[in-house]
């Protein structure tokens, strides 16, 4: 069975987001071994300087690198990434599976983004589009799209 890991910086706090995340994690379990890792964001001052932000992102990068499963195909969500339809995203994930990889790892960065080193390590950069979303909502959207991609590959009626 294929393994999927979603790494997200910060912790979900609102009950409705937690409930939605749990539902999609449960659903994904029918298609893959799914892990959802919430890593702590580096604490920054109220109005951080660019240097403080950069240093914080570098600290986060080290933690992120330590959590990416060995040999995983690594995809980051970033505004400058490629936009894909749900069907194309499902195709991309299918291609990863057919390439012989046994796992994929996705990353949603912190509110300040992610270190350029993390983006450089990615096998693929994916964009959720030009709109800005709260990070907690973006997690739910990514979970839903991962579930949708698996459902599409399985020929489920979930995707209409």
pLDDT at 122: 98
The pLDDT of residue 102 is: 95
Q: How many domains does the chain have?
A: 1
Would 160 be classed as within a structural domain? no
Residue 64 lies in a domain: yes
Q: Is residue 99 part of a domain?
A: yes
**DSSP for residue 100:** T
Which residues form the domain of 43? 3-154
Exposure string of 66-104, with b = 16+ CB inside 10 Å and e = fewer, is eebbeebbbbbbbeebeebeeeebbebbeebeeeeeebb
List, for residues 50-76, the tens digit of each pLDDT value. 999 999 999 999 999 999 999 999 999
Whether 86 is covered by a domain: the verdict is yes
Within-domain flag for 18 = yes
Name residues of the chain where pLDDT drops below 70: 160
User: Is 159 inside any structural domain?
Assistant: no
Q: What is the CATH number of the domain that holds 21?
A: 3.40.1280.10
Q: What is the pTM of this model?
A: 0.95
pLDDT of residue 160: 67
Please report which residue ranges of the chain form alpha helices under DSSP H: 15-28, 50-67, 86-98, 116-121, 135-154
Task: Give the per-residue pLDDT at 157.
Answer: 86
The answer as to whether 104 is a domain residue is: yes
So what's the pLDDT on residue 158?
83
């Amino acid at each position: 069975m294929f393994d999927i890991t979603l790494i997200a910086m910060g912790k979900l706090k609102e009950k409705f987001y937690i409930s939605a995340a749990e539902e999609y994690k449960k659903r994904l379990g029918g298609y893959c071994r799914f892990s959802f890792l919430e890593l702590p964001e580096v604490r920054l001052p109220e109005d951080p300087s660019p240097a403080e932000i950069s240093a914080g992102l570098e600290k986060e990068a080290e933690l992120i690198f330590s959590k990416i499963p060995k040999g995983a195909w690594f995809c980051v969500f970033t505004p400058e990434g490629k936009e894909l339809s749900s069907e194309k995203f499902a195709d991309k994930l299918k291609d990863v599976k057919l390439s012989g990889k046994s796992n994929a790892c996705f990353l949603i960065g912190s509110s300040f983004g992610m270190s350029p080193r993390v983006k450089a390590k990615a096998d693929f950069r994916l964009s959720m589009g030009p709109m800005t979303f709260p990070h907690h909502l973006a997690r739910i959207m990514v979970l839903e799209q991962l579930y949708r991609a698996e459902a599409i590959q399985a020929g489920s009626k979930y995707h209409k």
